Structures are given as C-alpha cells and as structure tokens.
Structure 1
C-alpha cells in the first residue's frame, strides 16, 4: 500500500501546497491521442483540479470527472464555472481504489493519477470502466527517478510504471494496443523547468 489516501491528496491540493501558479496546461498526450476519436462519454479518473475534464467538455465530450480530493474538486468546479461550459461536468468525489461505478464510458482517461493500491492495479480497475468498443488512455510516470511537476516531490516506486508492465495488462483478445511509448518533455510549473519522463498507452476494448 502507498501513501496516496484521502488525507494525502487533501494536503497536496491545498492552496498552501499546490499553488494556482503551478497549474499546467492540458496534457498534450490527451489532445494527440484522442483527436481521431468520435465524441461520446468520457471518464477522467483522477481529475485533480479539472484541466483535462474541462478541455474534454469544451470539445463536446459528455464528461464524468472523479477524484478523491474535495479540495481539488472544489477548484475544478470553480474553474469549470469560470470557463462557462455549455455542458456541465459531473464531478464525483470517490476513492478510485474502491469505487464501483454502475456504468461504463466510451473513453476513460487517467493522467498521472495515483491510488493506494499502486499503478498497475489502478490501471486494471480503470480498464473495467471502458465500454465495449471504447478506449482507455493511460498517461503515467515512467519508472525511474522522477519529480512531480505540481508538487516538486520524488515519487515512490509504486507511483511509477514501466511500458512493459502496463502493456501486459492488455495482452488478451479483449484488447488491442494502439499506442505504447515513453516520452520525455519539459514543463514549467511556477516558471521553473521540470523534466517529465512519461509512459503513454492507448488501448481499444474489442469486446
């Protein structure tokens, strides 16, 4: 078990810890990997303060956004209201380690989300929320030394994943792997450069 419980995330998303100046733009892998997909329903699993959820809603998706932190969701709601979204986002406060939604989505995305159960079990859980014919997009921290762009701390081993470890989850006739790669990029939270080593996997659920 890792440290990523509700108290941890409430602390990490508190204004004193995170700071609005550290808000990053929408994840570039999300925009690139979903550009060809037909618009439908989408779940942002571990939505934080809503950057990706708001972008998806602005581009016509019917969005459900889930996170364990009430603090993060309050800011996400405020940001969505300020953006004047034509279609509201459904914000859900829940622990992804235990959540049992009663529906599935055409697209499920998870961007740097962490849960107490660890990365691979989390990705396995999120895959069960994809509708047949739908897509799962995983963006995570590649295994190895890495510092968090929002909060500037080192990630424990359980918060990272390897490309091989993720793709093995989808080695079955039920899934088709459409994208699987690692990538390094530089972001500037608070104006300072931070290098991110990312792992990106997009899979299509066949049945």
Structure 2
C-alpha cells in the first residue's frame, strides 16, 4: 500500500475503489459478527464502512445504522448493495473525512473495523477518541485493527498499535468504562494471489457504564 502524500486521502480512496468493481469480500468482518452478534439492536455508527457489508449485516439484525466513509465511490457502491436488500431504509450513508468532521449524535454501538490509512494525515488516535465520546451510556465501542501486515506489504509505514496501546491512547476516564476484550488473535483471509493470507489482528471492546 503506497500513498502519494501530495494526494488528498479522499482522492486516494476514491481512486483505489474505482480500480475494481469490488475491493472487499462483501461479507461482514468476522470480529464484528463475533463481538456484536449477541448485542441488543439499537443505533450503530460504522466508521470506515467501505462497501457496506458491516452496515448491511447490522441493519439486517435490527440496528439503525449511520455508515461513514471518506470515499464517495465506496459509499455509492455500498448504497447500491443495500438497495438490493430489505434493510436499505435502516442505513444512513454519510461522507466524512474523519480528520475534519465527525457524525453528530451518540450511539449504542460504535464500530471501527480496520480504520487504517497509509497517510499520516489521518489522526487515528484522535478519531478513536471521538468514537469513544460518541458511545451512549450502556453502549459498546468496538475497535478492530491489523497487528501485522501481509507479506506483500513489507514496507508499509502504517502504524499498527497493540490492543493495549489502543486502550491507552483512548485516554478513557477511570471508572466510566468496562474493558470487555483486549487481545490479539489470528485472522485468515484470501490474499491478492487468491491464496490464504494468515496474519494477526487485534480487538478492543469496551462498554460505557450507565452510572
């Protein structure tokens, strides 16, 4: 993954999505399925929604979803996928450069799945702090990220914090949150060559206390 730093993130991601008809698998992220499958549906914020598989999965389970991405190409594709389901009216698609703007409101679930960027212009830690602030009392913050890059991206400068570093960077006030999960785990996906691409990911899951 290379990124010309003179190209704005919005243009970079629009160009990358436009290079193929589908960039991702069309399936929801396995960590989201595992960690949110037993949550009572409410309002959800999906940060970096891409082509919409996570948002559609949540909506199919009764969630009212605000799905956000920097790429208008990705959002248009996501809306098209949602239109082919019975849950399109449960999803609001919003275009945000999260380094500049953030969705309004609070949510029962805020999920950030692999919110990485090859650009230093994306202040990931600040965005995740805003994500935490957007969690309603009793709600859940779910952050899933890469802990290791695949062999075909050996020279990437994308920072990959440990789950403990993610929690520390959130700077959460003592006594206001319960840490439900903070761990690395193996992840298996298909690489660019069609072969299995094992790597390590990490998951941080917290619940905001109601009092």
Offset from partner CA, 1:95-131 (integer Å, 9 cap, x none) = 1122233311110001111353343232212111111
- The answer for unaligned runs of 5 or more in structure 2 is none
Q: TM-score, length-normalised on structure 2?
A: 0.84
| Alignment of structure 1 residues 163-178 onto 2, 5 Å | 163-168=163-168, 169=170, 170=172, 172-178=174-180
2:61 is aligned to 59
Indicate the residue corresponding to 2:198 in structure 1. 195
Q: Tell me which residue corresponds to 1:26.
A: 28
Partner secondary structure for residue 84 of structure 2: helix
Deviations 1:59-83 (A, max 9, x none): 1100110001000001000100112
Aligned CA-pair RMSD: 2.4
Partner residue, 2:49: 47
- Structure with bigger RCO (C-alpha 8 Å, 6+ apart): 1
CA distance in 2, matches of 1:117, 1:22: 21
Matches within 5 A, 1:9-158: 9-14=13-18, 16=19, 18-20=20-22, 22-85=24-87, 87-114=89-116, 116-142=121-147, 144=148, 146-147=149-150, 153=153, 156-158=156-158
C-alpha displacement of 1:147 = 3.2
The 3-state SS of whatever aligns with 1:200 is strand
Assess, with a 3 A threshold, how the Cα gap between structure 1 residues 22 and 44 changes in structure 2: closer, same or farther: closer
Tell me how far apart the structure 2 counterparts of residues 100 and 179 of structure 1 sit (CA, whole Å): 25
Q: Tell me the matched-pair count.
A: 199
**Runs of 5+ in structure 1 lacking a partner?**
none
Alignment counterpart, residue 5 of structure 1, candidates 1, 4, 9: 9
Secondary structure at the counterpart of residue 117 of structure 1: coil
Tell me the distance in 1 between the aligned counterparts of 2:136 and 2:101: 17
1:187–1:195 Cα contact (<8 Å) kept: yes
Q: Residues 130 and 22 of structure 1: is their aligned pair in 2 closer, same or farther, counting only changes over 3 Å?
A: closer
**Normalising to structure 1: TM-score of the pair?**
0.85
